Chain A
């Protein structure tokens, strides 16, 4: 715990710089990566990050210094070249996109490894630490690095904010964006430039191999919490920053531990957590919704069944045995009991022993469902020309979905019919 406080208080000036840089780099990856994710270019991000390695090595060989500005320039050049090669190979040869990706990724990377080993074997003292680009070198960052990368990260985020509208339109509806006068080609080029820069900056934190994760995993996690792009970008940045801080903290407390892989692990855990619990599309959320709908359908079916029984002897609130209900409609005993408990809580039925009766509000609810069912049957026979023995199944499903507004619309269109195709009366309000 003591470590955590020490870390959070930022007493150590090194930690302060490293943390600032990691936060800015993660945030810019998270922001730019949201577009990479939505444009389904996750694996291209992976290929670009591998293609950056030879650029860093070449920049070092030419400039003989680890000045972050030169390295970034080199990284951008080959990253861009890699992207260009992928597009060129896909467009000009019969190779498919996946092969073009794999080829560019591995060949550029292999060439980078060759250059890196040449530099290492050359005995140049300044080169030490260049291999840190493979797995990130967050902990080894100096003030100069922080200034350059931090500044670039801020520029990236600002550009995204400035062009937010255009980027959004291009991502979701490219054609439409073109028709309203957005320069689609130029904007797409800008997104690519931003992506390559975000990757070139981000590899300082997590390294070449894991960069794809810093780019797309925050966006993947954010996707489960919101449908709104602004919130998604914001959340994606928050997740990335959180993971960046966690990774830095872990490698600060346990110097043996690498920062980059921990950032990625924290991000992946966040994603798994979001996939399970996310408010939008999360697995648990969907299960909950399904469960709720199932319960609603079960309850409405029981009410409808009791209402039908009421119709036979014109005694809507009479007590009926469970067996009678199950004879009329096949509901498993377990479901029936479960459904009745829920209905009783909502004060729609009263249960005594093995018998159940509708309450006045239960009668009303049963009447409503029955009415929709019969209205729909009429609608299908009248407007869809379906034979009357084919409409029941469909009505069984739709009766749980139709809203009061649609119900009124149906009544009006069918001109308040009195009987359904099976000659059962349509129960209007106040009939019972």
Chain B
């Protein structure tokens, strides 16, 4: 049963991140997920200190405050300080992450968090923390929270599909159609932040980034069609979650690390498929050209 819950947790994170990641990828904003996942750490630690609980709501508030703070710091460094954007992002998120680690170390005895948990989460402990209603075991809390998040994100993408699609592919055209591009930008950022914070505990910061970037990149390599890309991204994410679980129990290693390694493996396979396809299509094209050439000259 434990295996089922762990795989389900991984699959939920994979599916949610896979959906959102596609839009981040198309908007060339992949590194934003990276920056957010690092920068919200101090907010999460402070929320623990203030609220004395691992409940999701205080964590979300803390993370949201620091998420906004990150964008403000980047904005000030970049616009007011005229620091180039890549350096502004780099300075802002490493600084906030450093403060987060300092807070974790300083309040180690008061905060039920440690440096390792921050980095690779505690997906193995997910089944231990169950939700009990009237003495009835309803399954792990994390699975419930992640499921609700998944439904919210799924609804957001279904309902906002047109807006998201248009603003991702051609923001200028979308603007001429009267679509509020900044609304879609900020709502997508909020959705990414929400997912990042909620997935943080179970899979850790870098794993969220891997699930946000990896499966969409694999899907993007294999198709040009957005619905297909979304589907492929979700499927390859879930496959990596399943494969990662079994890989980790085989080699006796970190579950989250194994899941990410599977993403890497999938990407290499996707690369090979793509190369194979290109080769055959090139040969086909060459063949056609030859045929056409011969038929021209034949009497």
Residues in chain A within 8 A of chain B (CB atoms): 37, 40-43, 45-46, 50, 93-96, 98-99, 101-103, 105-118, 121-122, 131, 134-135, 209-210, 212-213, 216-217, 219-220, 223-224, 256-258, 260-262, 264-265, 268, 271, 275, 281-283
A187–B87 alpha-carbon span in the complex (Å): 23
11 A-B residue pairs with CB within 8 Å: A42-B87, A108-B264, A109-B210, A110-B256, A121-B253, A210-B101, A213-B95, A217-B95, A257-B106, A260-B101, A261-B101
A105–B90 alpha-carbon span in the complex (Å): 14
- For residue A59, give the distance in angstroms from its CB to the closest CB of chain B: 17
Chain B: CB-nearest residue to A117? B254
Residues in B whose Cβ lies below 8 Å from that of A134? 115-116, 119
The reply on B274 being an interface residue by CB < 8 A is yes
Residues in A whose Cβ lies below 8 Å from that of B257? 110-117
Q: Is the interface of B mostly helix, strand, loop or mixed?
A: helix
Kindly list the 6 A-B residue pairs having the minimum CB-CB distance in the complex, ordered from nearest.
Answer: A110-B260, A114-B257, A113-B257, A106-B210, A117-B254, A213-B94
Q: Are A135 and B101 in contact (CB under 8 A)?
A: yes
The reply on B237 being an interface residue by CB < 8 A is no
A116–B258 alpha-carbon span in the complex (Å): 11
The reply on B188 being an interface residue by CB < 8 A is no
The reply on B248 being an interface residue by CB < 8 A is yes
- For residue B32, give the distance in angstroms from its CB to the closest CB of chain A: 9
A224–B81 alpha-carbon span in the complex (Å): 9
- For residue A421, give the distance in angstroms from its CB to the closest CB of chain B: 40
Candidates A106, A108, A213; contact of B91 at CB < 8 Å: A213
Q: Are B91 and A271 in contact (CB under 8 A)?
A: yes
A117–B253 alpha-carbon span in the complex (Å): 5
Residues in B whose Cβ lies below 8 Å from that of A96? 25, 28, 30
Residues in B whose Cβ lies below 8 Å from that of A131? 116
The reply on B53 being an interface residue by CB < 8 A is no
Residues in B whose Cβ lies below 8 Å from that of A107? 210, 214, 260-261, 263-264, 267
- For residue A209, give the distance in angstroms from its CB to the closest CB of chain B: 6
The reply on B182 being an interface residue by CB < 8 A is no
Q: Are A268 and B87 in contact (CB under 8 A)?
A: no
The reply on B231 being an interface residue by CB < 8 A is no
**B89, B214, B217 interface centre (most CB from chain A within 10 Å):** B217
Given contact pairs A110-B256, A114-B253, A268-B94, a sample of 17 additional A-B residue pairs in the complex whose CB atoms are under 8 Å apart: A42-B84, A43-B31, A99-B25, A99-B217, A102-B33, A103-B213, A106-B210, A114-B248, A134-B116, A135-B115, A209-B38, A213-B91, A217-B91, A257-B105, A261-B102, A264-B98, A275-B77
A311–B210 alpha-carbon span in the complex (Å): 75
For chain B residues 215-274, which have a beta carbon within 8 Å of chain A? 216-217, 220-221, 247-248, 251-254, 256-261, 263-264, 267, 271, 274
The reply on B29 being an interface residue by CB < 8 A is yes
Chain B 29-61 near chain A by CB (<8 Å), digits 1 or 0 = 111011000100000000000000000000000
Chain A: CB-nearest residue to B274? A93
- For residue B294, give the distance in angstroms from its CB to the closest CB of chain A: 33
- For residue A48, give the distance in angstroms from its CB to the closest CB of chain B: 12
Chain A: CB-nearest residue to B73? A272
The reply on B146 being an interface residue by CB < 8 A is no
Known: A102-B209, A103-B267, A117-B253. A95 touches B90 (CB 8 A): no
The reply on B212 being an interface residue by CB < 8 A is yes
Known: A216-B87, A261-B101. A109 touches B94 (CB 8 A): no
The reply on B206 being an interface residue by CB < 8 A is yes
- For residue A101, give the distance in angstroms from its CB to the closest CB of chain B: 6
The reply on B297 being an interface residue by CB < 8 A is no
**B31, B89, B221, B263 interface centre (most CB from chain A within 10 Å):** B31
Residues in A whose Cβ lies below 8 Å from that of B209? 102, 105-106
A111–B248 alpha-carbon span in the complex (Å): 11
The reply on B291 being an interface residue by CB < 8 A is no
Chain A: CB-nearest residue to B81? A275
A217–B89 alpha-carbon span in the complex (Å): 11
Candidates A111, A135, A223, A264; contact of B94 at CB < 8 Å: A264
Residues in B whose Cβ lies below 8 Å from that of A103? 213-214, 217, 267
Q: Are B98 and A256 in contact (CB under 8 A)?
A: no
The reply on B296 being an interface residue by CB < 8 A is no
